[in-house]
Amino acid sequence: MAGMKSLKKTRRVQIVVVAALALAIGTGLIVYAFQDGINFFRSPSQVQADPPAPNEVFRLGGMVEAGSLIRGQGEEIAFRVTDFCSTVDVRYTGILPDLFGENEGTVATGRLVGGVFQATEILAKHDETYMPREVADSLATNGQATAASGHPECEYHGNYGAMTAPASGT
């Protein structure tokens, strides 16, 4: 009789250990899978102030600068993305969304290589009022999309979406 209780107790401990091990392995696999799937959003000011590592995939958002769109051979496109304070050169090979254009909001996914953002995916706004919250926050203060356009001297100081300019004499 004493042997049966000991056997049941041993089985329970084995089941708990196997379940805990399976949970730990499952959690580890989920964390590993998310490492490549998470893309952080950055504005051009953030990229200029704190350039990411060349192998880091991230999202660059802002407005396509007027006069910067250059179509190359085939599907090659070059343009600049601005947050009205800083600009980042972007290169992309592929078909652009129909609504992509100059003076329009965009979010590009890719890597910064040699100071040029090599995009693998380009997203454009889907109507005249939509802009991703992160893009709007990085472009504007007080909710105005062109709030920083009068302040080209503004700098990124580490606060997400905060753009400050030196005080003028008036």
Domain limits, the chain: 1-37, 40-164
Return the amino acid letter for 78: A
- Compute the residue count for the chain: 170
What is the pLDDT, as a whole number, of residue 104?
Answer: 84
Instruction: Provide the percentage of residues in the chain whose pLDDT is more than 90.
Output: 22
**CA distance linking residue 103 with residue 144, whole number of Å:** 15
Q: What is the mean pLDDT of residues 113-135?
A: 75
Per-residue pLDDT band for 140 (boundaries 50, 70, 90) equals low
**CA distance linking residue 126 with residue 129, whole number of Å:** 8
Superfamily of domain 40-164: Nucleic acid-binding proteins (2.40.50.140)
Per-residue tokens: 40: 């952080």
The whole model's pTM is what? Answer: 0.58
Per-residue pLDDT band for 48 (boundaries 50, 70, 90) equals confident
Mean per-residue pLDDT over the chain, rounded: 76
